[in-house]
Structure 1
Amino acid sequence: MALHPPGLLKKLKLHHDWLESLGRSGRQLALEDDDCTGLDFSGRILSQASLPGVRFDKASLKQVDLYSSNLASASFSGADLTEADLTRATLDYASLNDASLRNAKAFKASFIEVDMRGADLTDANLTDAYFVGADLERAILRGANITGATLEGVRLFRADLTSVKGFERVSAKWIDIGPEESPIRLEGDQLRDWLVCAVRGKAH
């Protein structure tokens, strides 16, 4: 992993002080469109950070705390977010293709128009998460908890939903299970029947 540039290290320290002092000292971390490709943020507490458009491609964010952070339009292509805390985080229009979110916590996180093609969400906690227009082609959601999640216009072509928990309690008006060039829209009973088959590993 690449080393953090001195300027970023200073901002990370100021953010730590800002959190510890409840805003009385330090400064909230605010980056926009910065390039953090390949950097190691493992275990860092970055909750409530403002990071729109930041590039975290192939970065290590294992067990990072991004609670309630603004990650809109950020890029996490190939990044490792294993066991990351994305509770209440905003990831609208972000790119997480081929990222690892195994065992990540994304309770009430927002994923509007997010690109999660090929992402690994095995055993992730997606309770009450908000997925609208999200692309989850080839995404792996084995054992993930989607209780109370919103799946509105989500694309699930070749997604693996085996043993997903809480699928009976999702809010889903329609989903797309077809390839990009030939959408297959499901709603109502067809959608529910497909989900049942998908969770049993029998969807086609």
Structure 2
Amino acid sequence: MPLDLNQILAEHRLWFETRGCEGVRARLQGVRLEGMDFSGAVLVEALFQGADLSRSNFIGADLRGANLQDARLTGARLEGANLEEADLMWSDLREANLQGARLGGTYLQGADLSTVRGLTSRQIDDAVRDGDTLLPPLDASPESFISRD
């Protein structure tokens, strides 16, 4: 049965807006969703563990509290996305763009951000990370990697 992503997003938004009284929480664990457009979507507390979201567009999406643990987000566009309190532990964010993304309390333990773009030192300070978090070199390039605030 094909995945009706628009229906899933609409049901999830209703689930969030009614605090779970109506709609259905998005459960997209382990699903291949490469190159999909989630721009501006309300994905608060959505479940994406182990999903392949490579090259997907999350510009301006609300991903607060979403579970993206062990997700593949290589080349994903996350500019301006709200990832506060999201779980990105052990996720692959290589070549992803985090410019302007909100990372307050975002769990990045073990995540690979080694070639991420648009990341600032303030975003790193706001996130939860550990010694297994792979960060890009500070000031590696003026356009990408970590920039000083």
Equivalent residue in structure 1 for 2:106, among 85, 89, 109: 109
Match of 2:133 in 1: 134
Distance 1:141 1:48, change over 3 A: farther
Which structure's residues are more often strand, by fraction? Answer: 1
The question of whether the paired residues in 2 share the 8 Å contact of 1:63 and 1:84 is answered with yes
Q: Does 1:61 align with 2:44?
A: no
Distance in 1 (alpha carbons) for counterparts of 2:105 and 2:118? 15
1:62 alignment partner AA? I
Match of 2:21 in 1: 24
Q: Give unmatched runs, 5+ long, in structure 1.
A: 143-158, 165-204
Distance in 2 (alpha carbons) for counterparts of 1:92 and 1:127? 16
Aligned residues: 145
The question of whether the paired residues in 2 share the 8 Å contact of 1:122 and 1:140 is answered with no
Work out the percentage of aligned pairs sharing the same amino acid.
26
Match of 2:9 in 1: 12
Q: Give unmatched runs, 5+ long, in structure 2.
A: none
1:130 alignment partner AA? V
- CA-CA distance at 1:15 after TM superposition: 0.5
- CA-CA distance at 1:30 after TM superposition: 0.9
Measured against aligned partners, the alpha-carbon deviations of 1:102-147 in whole angstroms (never above 9, x if no partner) come to 01001011101111121013446344311111112357699xxxxx
TM-score (norm 2): 0.87
Higher relative contact order (CA 8 A, sep 6+): 2
Equivalent residue in structure 2 for 1:125, among 123, 126, 133: 123
Distance in 2 (alpha carbons) for counterparts of 1:17 and 1:162? 38
For residues 87-102 of structure 1, the aligned pairs below 5 Å read 87-102=84-99
The question of whether the paired residues in 1 share the 8 Å contact of 2:46 and 2:63 is answered with yes
- Runs of 4+ deviating beyond 3 Å: 121-128, 137-142, 159-162
Distance in 1 (alpha carbons) for counterparts of 2:140 and 2:24? 37
Partner secondary structure for residue 102 of structure 1: coil
Q: Does 1:45 align with 2:30?
A: no
Partner secondary structure for residue 129 of structure 2: strand
The question of whether the paired residues in 2 share the 8 Å contact of 1:38 and 1:57 is answered with yes
The question of whether the paired residues in 2 share the 8 Å contact of 1:122 and 1:141 is answered with no
